[in-house]
Chain A
Amino acid sequence: EAGVAQSPRYKIIEKRQSVAFWCNPISGHATLYWYQQILGQGPKLLIQFQNNGVVDDSQLPKDRFSAERLKGVDSTLKIQPAKLEDSAVYLCASSLEGLAGWTNNEQFFGPGTRLTVL
């Protein structure tokens, strides 16, 4: 089974430029997450999709960040314009929709995109 795919793996841009990241989740996974992981910290959720709908975007800086999952499969995350503090690894994760009752509903992570803003 193929894992979560992300591209690019690395990106270096100057502040005020725009950048986009792409994620393709595991086939059949309805839920997709974008996390931001700053060096030395744990991942922080930016946005969660269930199929093509947004479930939680409360921590997404909407003045500069946007994300979409138009067909309920792959997703793009955009930053426009970028700031120095956006330098981080952007992780995409996916999970099966939870079944009734107890389930661990494990999240599978992609390799991440390491963004450096100069």
Chain B
Amino acid sequence: GQNIDQPTEMTATEGAIVQINCTYQTSGFNGLFWYQQHAGEAPTFLSYNVLDGLEEKGRFSSFLSRSKGYSYLLLKELQMKDSASYLCAVRAQGRNTPLVFGKGTRLSVIA
């Protein structure tokens, strides 16, 4: 079976840094994805990690530790438009296996 855990809600201040954690237990592993989803909209791709370490992309960074079954998404210089749900998703072994999503973390950015 597969299980993905992430906090339900987080609040952070505009201009600050926030870290959203994700832990997972899966049968096989072939990559971890982070998606952003604004209310009423489709998820949009943010990052992908398959090897241990940090992937940086502008204000967003994602980290993976496969031995610990752990990832985090780091958002810097928060903006009001970053208020959204952030979905952690894992792909099991295989090339085109579907993603298993966590329940998402709803981030509220306040002034």
Contact = CB atoms under 8 A, between A and B. Distances in A.
Is A bound to B? yes
Contacts, number: 59
B50 A109 contact: no
Interface stretch (A11-19, A48-56, A78-86): A48-56
Interface in A33-59: 33, 40-45, 48, 50, 55-56
Interface in A63-102: 91, 95, 97-98, 102
Interface in B85-110: 87, 89, 91, 95-104
Interface residues of B, number: 24
Interface residues of A, number: 29
Nearest to B98: A45
B48 interface: yes
Contact of A109 (B40, B44, B98): B44
A106 B45 contact: yes
Interface in B53-81: none
